[in-house]
Amino acid sequence: MTALLVGESVSRHFGGLRAVDNVDFHVDEAEILGLIGPNGAGKTTLFSVAAGSVPPTSGRVLLAGTPVSGKSAHRSVHLGVCRTHQIVRPFARLTVLDNVLVGFHYGRPATMPHRDPRGVAMELLEFIGLARDAHRLPGQLTLAGRKRLEVARALATGPRVLLLDEVVAGLNPAEALRLVELIRQIRDRGIAIIMIEHVMPAVMALSDRVIVLDHGRKIAEGTPAEVADDPLVIEAYLGRDAQEPGHA
């Protein structure tokens, strides 16, 4: 199978800081790629490049062969790459349903038919588990609800690749478990997912493959189990002496 979204030697520098440094990545249809790394490793910057809101300093990101990086956020969405935000950013004074409708109306290419948008949006909310809250404001939802809304709004744009930025973090274990199940169902719809996550059990359970970033560079790639055993990864997370007894 050919990869759906491919990053070729992607770099992004902010002044002298190499936030993302020469990273290659790819994700296939219906695959979940975990993106992990310590704070400040450049994960969110890589998302911003892939989602088009930040142009790469060098390198490029291709969706099925078409460049998506370096254009603009809304064009990336129309091409089929949509992201969520680590700190949820709902449209606070629009209802949950209208939040989703924005994605539905504006996230799709103009050629896609708009048959009964409200019905389709309600179906989507049903799937996400927010149907009962459709006419409430985002501020009236729990954090878990707002994270779901963030995912629902992105899904409404009909993405081929979904970039999830820490959607599980900050939820209690029960909520996290339900969201993990939801992400799996989204993947089963054929959508490629790249997820940044600090909640390791979620990453390990969901990811087909994991990429580890540290100081902007890719230091490891493989199955969750391989990555977890990689000495470089352990060092990046815990420091050099971590494995010595009495220090961890």
Partner 1 sequence: MRAARSLRWISIRALIAFAVAVLVLWTAPLVLPLGDYTHNIIGLTFMFMAAALAWNWLGGFVGQISFGHSAMFGVGGFVAARLMLAFGLPSVVGWLAGGLVAGGYALLWGHPTLRLRGPYFSIATIGVGEATRLIATYWSDFTGGSSGLSLPLSSGPTKYQLYWYGLYLLVAAVAISYWLRRSRIGLALLAIKEDVEAAADVGVNATRYQDLVLFLSGTMVGVCGGFYASYQAFIDPQDMFSFDRSISLILMAVIGGIGTVLGPTGGAVVFVIIQEFLLANYSQLYLGLYGILLILIILFEPLGLAGLLLRLRRLTGYRPPADVGAGGLTSTAAGGATEAAAVPADQSGR
Residues at the site binding partner 1, with contacts judged by CB under 8 A: 51, 53, 72-74, 77-78, 82-83, 85-95, 98, 101-103, 105-108, 114-115, 135-140, 143, 146, 153-154, 156-157, 166, 169-173, 176, 198-201
Cβ closest to partner 1, residue 146 vs residue 187? 146
CB of 130 to partner 1, least distance (A): 14
Distance CA 2, CA 130 (A): 35
CB of 159 to partner 1, least distance (A): 10
Cβ closest to partner 1, residue 89 vs residue 247? 89
Q: Where do we find the tokens 């629902």?
A: 152
CB of 237 to partner 1, least distance (A): 12
CB of 95 to partner 1, least distance (A): 5
Cβ closest to partner 1, residue 26 vs residue 108? 108
Cβ closest to partner 1, residue 3 vs residue 67? 67
How far from 5 is each of 53, 59, 74, 82, 144, CA to CA, in Å?
Answer: 16, 14, 17, 12, 28
Radius of gyration (C-alpha) of the chain in whole angstroms: 18
Distance CA 130, CA 10 (A): 37
Cβ closest to partner 1, residue 7 vs residue 90? 90
AA identity, residue 79: L
What is the Cα 134 distance to its own chain's centre? 24
Using alpha carbons, select from 168, 140, 145 the residue that is nearest to residue 36. Answer: 168
Give Dmax (Cα) for the chain: 63
The answer to whether 49 touches 69, Cβ cutoff 8 Å, is yes
Beta strand pairing call for 17-27 and 5-14? antiparallel
The answer to whether 203 touches 164, Cβ cutoff 8 Å, is no
Cβ closest to partner 1, residue 114 vs residue 184? 114
Using alpha carbons, select from 248, 236, 241 the residue that is nearest to residue 41. Answer: 236
The answer to whether 20 touches 42, Cβ cutoff 8 Å, is yes
CB of 228 to partner 1, least distance (A): 13
CB of 113 to partner 1, least distance (A): 8
